[in-house]
Structure formats: C-alpha cells, structure tokens
Structure 1
Amino acid sequence: MAYNALLGRVGIWAAALQAFDPARQPQVDEAAAELDELGYGALWIGGSPSPDAAQHLLSVTSRAAVGTSILSIWDHAAPEMAARHAQLTDEYKGRFILGLGVSHEEKPTGNDYRTGHPLADRPYSAMRGYLDVLDNAPRPVPAGGRALAALGPRMLELARERSLGALPYLITPQHTAEARDILGADPLLAPELKAVLVPAGGDRDAARDTARDYLGRYLGFANYRNSWLRLGFTEADFEGGGSDRLIDAVYAIGTPEQIRARVDEFLSAGADHVALQVVTANTGKDLPLPEWRILAEALPVNA
C-alpha cells in the first residue's frame, strides 16, 4: 500500500489515544472516530502502545491509518509483533503501520530498563536484529509496513534501507531537511511536532510555560540531547526546562494560522506528513478534542 498517499499531510499524535484505564476506552474510541471524520490522515498512538491499542482505534475508524509511535523493541517480542501485524493488516485493509523504536536508555526514574538484554548497549544492532526476525517470520512484516523512530544518521540510513521510512520525534525543520537528504526522495518522513494553541490576542508567554512544563520530561534523555546538540543547540539550552530558543524550535505555538505556518515549514523542509501533538496542561491524560477540531479547519488535513 502507498502509505504516503494514505497518510495525507497531517495526522494526530497522542499518548492519550491509548486507554490505560479500560473505563476510558469508550471515550478514546469516540475521539478516534471523530478524528477520522475530521479528516486527519493518521492517528499515532504515543508511548510504547500495545497492539491491542491499535486494534481498538482501527475498529472504530474507517479511513485513517493507525500507527504505533513508537512500539519499543525492548518491550514487545518480534515474533509476536509479526503475527499481530499480519492479523491487523488482514482485518483492517492495510491501515496499520508498525512504528518501532529503541526508546531511551533512561526511565524517568533514572533506571535502565534494558538490564539483562544482550544488546542493551548496542541499540542500533538490536534494531537490526529485530528487523531480521520480522523479515524471517512465518508471515514476514514487509519493509513497507513498518517505520522507525530515527534521529541520528545511522538509524535514518537503516530506516531508508529496511523500512517505509522515519518517524522522528522532537526535532526541527533543520533536522527534517537533513533527514530528507539521508533518506532520499522516496521513503516516508513523518516527524512529530508539538503544538500549543493560543487564541488571538492570547498570552504567548503562558503558552511557552505550558510547552516548557511538558518538554522538561524529555530533557534528561541522552538521545534527544544529542540530537539537539547536533543541530547546534548547547547545554545552556537545556537549563530551566528549556530555553526560549529550544522551545520555539521544537514547538508550534500560536493561533491556528501560526500553527499551520509551522506545519508548512516542516512540509517545505521535506516532510511528507506531520504528526501533530497538541500540548495542554494535562497532556497525556486528556483528549484535547476542542483543539483538534479547531486545527482541523486550519490544517491541510484533506490535502
């Protein structure tokens, strides 16, 4: 399936699309169905979601693609994922995208949850090995049915060679342009972009504070810090929850029209699709339907 055409130009990325509490599943399902009707091309389930979470969203939508962004290879065995990919592909006409990643060395607590894994200190090799298992499963996962969370050049090259493409997270238009150069013209490039919606005449400084509160959880992760350092940021940009320079680079903050302009920056830099994560004071818990509805009118969701 030509996923680039299926995805359209804009999708929604949200950890809250995974209902950790079964009592919330009807609310999540209703939100997913509305996002599908609004025209968003893909629903990206944030975190390391289970295949069951993807199946729930697929079952209540009819058009949008549903992707894991990302499923951690440390948490889900490759043979199991090959079988589930085959099942979901058959049941939902190829709308499922298996987004894979090596996640972080650190948990928020500072503990390493890869302890005991034979390739714990070699995440690139671990990803290659995981893809080998998917390739050799009884029902192989085709390269065009999976995508990789890639930040650095080596993982981007692996995404180019052995997957549909790349799902970078917490990056900038500069990174997007550099990633496109590495990927070449054909592979999918679908970066995530965080957005804080500000009403006309609203308080941009307060919106930056909301952005900073959410960004803070990522500042301790080496993979993101290294990615930002490669892009020209410095250690000083990581202090105090993130400098204004860093916040403005990795977020879209403003009115719907201003957020549209930021999305267009990423598309112009080489992205095929932008996975928009709406950030609020309760990101990860609430489903920001009012914001999703407003942005659907401003964004190229049907392009």
Structure 2
Amino acid sequence: MDLSGVGVWSQELRYGDAAEAADAAAELEELGYAAMWVPDVGGPLFDAVGNLLAATRRAVVATGILNLWMHEPADAAAAFAALTAEHGDRFLMGIGVSHAPLIDSGEPGRYRKPLAAMRAFLDGLDRADPAVPAAERVLAALGPKMLDLAATRARGAHPYLVTPDHTRRAREALGNGPLVLPEQTVILCSTREEAREIGTGWLRSYLDLPNYAGNLLRLGFTSAELASVDDRLFDALIAWGGEDEVKARVDEHRAAGADHVCVQVLTAGDGFPREEWRRLAAALV
C-alpha cells in the first residue's frame, strides 16, 4: 500500500452522487493522486469505500475517519476483509473517536473515556477473524496519548485540521517508521476576502469542538483567537491563494515529517470541486 505522494480528502466522494463519485475517483487516480480519504458521520460507510475501490485500480481509499461510536469492531473487520479480498490491499482504515457534542447529541453521556474506547475498538479488530492488521489502520491522533497509541497499535496517525507545527510534533512523538498523514484544507482564490467568505463559517464549526480547540491551544493559539477566528489562526489552518501557496503549505508538512498529505478543497458552491482538483494536480502530483 503506497502512502506517499498527495491525496484528496473529500466529503463529496462520500456523500455525493455515487455515480459521479466513482467517475471523479477514476479521474483523481489518473491525475496521479495517491489516495482518496472520506469522512464518516453516519450512513453506509463501507458501501462508499467499495464504490471508490471499484472505480480505481491503484489508489488507496482511506477512511478519514471511521467513527468508532458508529460501528462494531467485528462488523468493521468483516467489511475490511470483504473489500480487501475483492480489491486487494488498497483500503486503509482510519479510525477516530469523533467529538463529545456530536456523539452525545443523540445519546447524552455516551462519549466517555475516548482513549479507552479506542483501545477497546482496536482490541476488537485484533480479535476478529480475520483481524484488521495494524499495518492497514491509522488513528486520528491529535494529542500525545493518542499519538502514542497510533505509534504502537497502528501504522501511524491521520491528524485533521492541523498545522505543519503539529506535523512536526507528531513526527517527533511517533519517531521514525510510523506514518504521519495530515489533512490540509485549501481554498483556491485571489483575495483574503474571498478566502474568508468561503472558509470562516466552515472553520468556526470545527473550533466549537473541544478536541480541535484543545489541540490548537496546545499549539500556542489563544482562546481569543479561536473565538474570533483570528487571521493568524485562519492562515495557519487553511492554505489559501493560488497553486503556489498550496504547494508551499504541502511542502511545509513534508519538511516537518509528513509522509503523505491529503488536501481538502473548499469552494463557494456545492458539488465536486473537480476543476480545483485538476488545477492542484498540476502543482502537487
């Protein structure tokens, strides 16, 4: 499983029209993207993964992330085995603990001891027959304890909404060997005003989640910067401008120790950002 190069993180590939997602996946592979990452906030996750695997021949399809509160380990392992048997070793299972406000909204008090919940989920994957190999799973790790678990119980870490400084810290925590596979949000635009119009509300919705807020505070941002979605914070988390600015940010992650960077494109409209993916491929792949 090749986890170098640059990938695409996309909610459209997961929740958009399945036929267009398959067509887009085939094009992304031809453009040279090494992997496609999809989120999980409910619905038939493994059907979406299978749709992308069937549309491609070489690219890795990864969950970024499988929400462990929404799946039983035995069911996830069975789906992994079936997809791998049909499509080869191209499915990377990214696993995460999500966020208390999201999980508790449907069942108050369910979100408890996320680190213990992750350990228990991994134990379940290990006990399954067949198991999900540690080499074919990564963890959505932000803080030190989850990074430690990613180094010992998985192939590495898939941090979301992070900066190159976090990538450096993750590499130092994991050491040589385990993979660091950060997500990087990007906006192709001409002005700060355009970037702000597209990205401010999107970013604010994440800053309300305690796992992301806590991680950013550890990285040196202030509560006031989070509350106001300050320019320094915005620029650190979203690479905006032209292809050169996006490439420079991806190169920063690489210099900080990333093995692979997956870019998430935000646009002013709905639908698949296929033209933006094409533009970025010319600069990144």
TM-score when normalising by structure 1: 0.90
Give the counterpart of 2:166 among 172, 175, 180: 175
- 1:193–1:276: 8 Å Cα contact kept in structure 2? yes
1:47 aligns with: 40
User: Which residues of 2 match residues 1-303 of structure 1 at below 5 A?
Assistant: 3=1, 6-19=2-15, 24-48=17-41, 50-107=45-102, 111-113=104-106, 115=108, 117=110, 120-198=111-189, 202-240=190-228, 242-282=229-269, 285-299=270-284, 301=285
- The one-letter code sitting in structure 1 at the alignment partner of 2:274 is L
Unaligned runs of 5+ residues in structure 2 are none
- 1:7–1:64: 8 Å Cα contact kept in structure 2? no
SS class of match (2:250): helix
CA distance in 1, matches of 2:259, 2:184: 13
Structure 1 stretches of 4+ moved >6 Å: none
CA distance in 1, matches of 2:225, 2:267: 22
CA distance in 2, matches of 1:217, 1:204: 19
Deviation per CA, 1:231-273, whole angstroms, max 9, x where unpaired? 0001111123x11010111111111011101100001001000
- 1:106–1:113: 8 Å Cα contact kept in structure 2? no
SS class of match (1:193): strand
What RMSD over aligned residues (CA atoms) do the two structures have, in Å? Answer: 1.4
- 1:208–1:253: 8 Å Cα contact kept in structure 2? no
SS class of match (2:101): coil
SS class of match (2:70): coil
Compute the displacement of 1:19 (Å): 3.1
Deviation per CA, 1:28-81, whole angstroms, max 9, x where unpaired? 111111111100000001234611110000000111100010010000111000
- The one-letter code sitting in structure 2 at the alignment partner of 1:218 is Y
Compute the displacement of 1:9 (Å): 1.7
| 202-211 vs 174-183, which moves further | 202-211
Compute the displacement of 1:286 (Å): 1.3
Compute the displacement of 1:112 (Å): 3.3
TM-score when normalising by structure 2: 0.96
Deviation per CA, 1:169-195, whole angstroms, max 9, x where unpaired? 011111110000111111111000000
CA distance in 1, matches of 2:212, 2:8: 21
| 270-279 vs 41-50, which moves further | 41-50
- 1:48–1:68: 8 Å Cα contact kept in structure 2? no
Task: Count residues in correspondence.
Answer: 283
Unaligned runs of 5+ residues in structure 1 are none
- 2:191–2:241: 8 Å Cα contact kept in structure 1? no
- The one-letter code sitting in structure 2 at the alignment partner of 1:289 is R
CA distance in 1, matches of 2:216, 2:223: 9
SS class of match (1:169): coil
